[in-house]
Chains A and B, each alone.
Chain A
Amino acid sequence: MQGQAGEILDVFENPRPGRRYTIEFTCREFTSLCPLTGQPDFATITVRYVPGEQCVELKSLKYYFRSFRDRGVFFEDVTNRILEDLVQVCAPVEMTVVGRFNVRGGIEHEITAEYVREGEN
């Protein structure tokens, strides 16, 4: 768990742990700061996962995303960190995090980070 993420993120019991079903969250209001310039960055973050024993609680996820608002982080770091923190807290069967960052310097960034639990391939 990175930094304060463990204090923010909460989980609840998966109501159907025996079924392989998918949950997808989309946050269109993700914002952080560029670590080089201090200028704000904006992104749409999509989290798609097959839950294990635990599901991510939505309100805590909102606060977790918000915790990046005043932090200087690279797009690649943000996307991978979100994946790592969420995997740590809810131990999913599999999870994909996609960060679609708004155009900067004429360039769009889309970062995809994936996790698959051992033995699920």
Chain B
Amino acid sequence: MTLAPQHPCYPRASRVATRAWRVEVGLTTVENPQPGRPYTIEFVFPEFTAVYPVTDEPVFATVTIRYVPGARCLETVSLKQYLGTYRNQAVSNEAAVNGILDDLVAACRPSKMEVVGEFAVRGGIAATVTADSAKAG
């Protein structure tokens, strides 16, 4: 039994779709009801999946988004749809977590935000990637 990468049942990464396509999904924000108070919002998304570009194998992760909102808060339905757009993207764990941070910061302009991706074991290795808007770069 050899399942070639071109087999119809083999997951194919859409290499054409890029970040520009994801942005089209549209991240909706809502007004922060307490803009003067620095409080924290945390979302946990245990159903994150993408395609690892080196092997074309699917990867799975729990993505945690923790932020202190500015004038706007992230709206959860659009956030779910946005995270779902990675499903058929060929993207490294590192690029996914950093891309999420960049897109969410651009959408809601938080005081600070941290995105953590805890990826399921592959090759005996569990990878956790953390990106923080407070760190330069």
Contacts and interface: CB of A to CB of B under 8 A. Distances in A.
Interface in A13-63: 28-29, 31, 39-40, 42, 57, 59-60, 63
B11 A102 contact: no
Nearest to B11: A69
Contacts of A40: 47, 49, 84, 87
A70 B11 contact: yes
A102 B9 contact: no
A66 B87 contact: no
B84 A39 contact: yes
A8 B1 contact: yes
B11 A31 contact: no
Interface residues of B, number: 16
A60 B8 contact: no
A102 B120 contact: no
A90 to B, nearest CB: 13
Contacts, number: 43
SS class of chain B's interface: helix, strand, loop or mixed?
loop
SS class of chain A's interface: helix, strand, loop or mixed?
mixed
Contact of A63 (B3, B47, B120): B3
A7 B2 CA distance: 9
Contacts of A59: 1
A42 B62 CA distance: 13
The range of chain A's interface size is 20 to 34
Nearest to A38: B84
B11 A29 contact: no
Given A10-B1, A40-B84, A69-B58, A102 B10 contact: no
A81 to B, nearest CB: 14
A67 interface: yes
Interface string B83-106: 010011000000000000000000
Contact of B47 (A4, A7, A66, A102): A102
Interface string B114-128: 000000100000000
Contacts of A9: 1
A54 B26 CA distance: 50
B60 interface: yes
A67 B84 contact: no
Contact of B1 (A42, A60, A70, A102): A60
Closest 9 CB pairs of A and B: A10-B1, A67-B9, A63-B3, A60-B1, A42-B47, A29-B60, A4-B9, A69-B11, A8-B9
